[in-house]
Amino acid sequence: MPAVLFYSPNDSPTEWERRLRDFIPDLDMRVWPDIGDPNDIEFALVWKLPPGNYEKLQNLRCICSLGQGVDHIFTEAKLPPQVHIMRLVDPWMAQAMSEWILLQVLRFHRQVPEYEDLERQFKWKVLPPPETSECAVGILGLGELGRDAARKISALGFKVAGWSRTEKEVEGVECFYGEKQLEAFLNRTKILCCLLPLTPKTTGIINSKTISQLPRGSYIVNAGRGQHVVDTCLLRALDTGHLAGAALDVFNEEPLPSQHPYWAHPKVSVWPHVSAQSNADSAAEQVADAIGKVFSGRVPNNLVSREQQY
């Protein structure tokens, strides 16, 4: 049987091999860098494989991202042209992401930063109660994760809209699409949640121009990729008061350097890229299915477009 390459700094190869063997008992899994003969490898299950290694795998037929995003694969300069690229589509990850997004939305909506500040000052003060039906939440990106988050937030009574590059429909959600509708989407949004895939067209999408199109006193929640945000623009908007706060789970550099201004900024909540981690228990079956299809010459599910990079 051909071999599977595994690499991820954040995931247990032992746990993944154990769960995959429930479906493929004779699985030959090689954990990078101890891969043996590279010509044996036809399937790669990876998260941010060090650069320059894909081209060494002459018989590689499919790369599966250990996560929803595939941007880390497209950064490879010499990506083999014949190789399929797929991503995980895992309901467990969608649920986890929606929980994290909802946590941040409720935190800002229910004035948690303000009450925590009052607590630190030993002040007993009641703030005007927020009205959920008037709180406009905007979801940047209406893929699997964005749609799930939008539905769950809408179900709580928030006024939810979503924006995507192409036209989409989501029940209970006002949908905007394309460059021409981005400004209108931002104008109506009080809490902006980014769940976009990272592509050349979405890199730096949260910048001085787009932030200025949000109402004063808005919030940014980013669980997409750090490269969606221009850090200097976000910090400037927080310091001037145009933005009231930000919750960030992803960063331009990870781990976030200890000297980065986000750590000490009173309006920024820093999370260590944990909003939706991969889960071998829930995702192993679909990965095993993909491995079986690739090894038998068939095409796996959940392929991404090389042109669009998602």
Q: What is the pLDDT of residues 30-76, one digit of tens each?
A: 999 999 999 999 999 999 999 999 999 999 999 999 987 899 999 99
Q: Does domain 3-90+278-295 have CATH number 3.40.50.720?
A: yes
Taking Cα atoms as reference points, which of 282, 287, 285, 281 lies closest to residue 300? 287
- Give, rounded to a whole angstrom, the gap between the first and last alpha carbons of the chain: 30
Residue 168 in contact with residue 194, Cβ under 8 Å?
Answer: no
The yes-or-no answer on residue 225 being catalytic is yes
- For the chain, residues classed under CATH 3.40.50.720 are 3-90+278-295, 92-270
Average pLDDT over residues 79-101: 95
The percentage of the chain sitting over the pLDDT mark of 70, rounded to a whole number, equals: 100
92-270 CATH fold: Rossmann fold (3.40.50)
User: How far is the C-alpha of 147 from the C-alpha of 70, rounded, in Å?
Assistant: 18
Residues 6+ apart with CB under 8 A from 64: 43, 44, 45, 46, 86, 87, 88, 287, 290, 300
From 30, 225, 236, 265, the catalytic residue: 225
The yes-or-no answer on residue 273 being catalytic is yes
Q: Which residue has the higher pLDDT, 118 or 80?
A: 118
Quickly state the pLDDT bin for 155 (edges 50, 70, 90).
very high
Upstream peptide bond of 255 is cis (omega within 30 degrees of 0): yes
Per-residue model confidence (pLDDT) at position 9: 93
From 265, 273, 298, 306, the catalytic residue: 273
User: How far is the C-alpha of 15 from the C-alpha of 12, rounded, in Å?
Assistant: 5
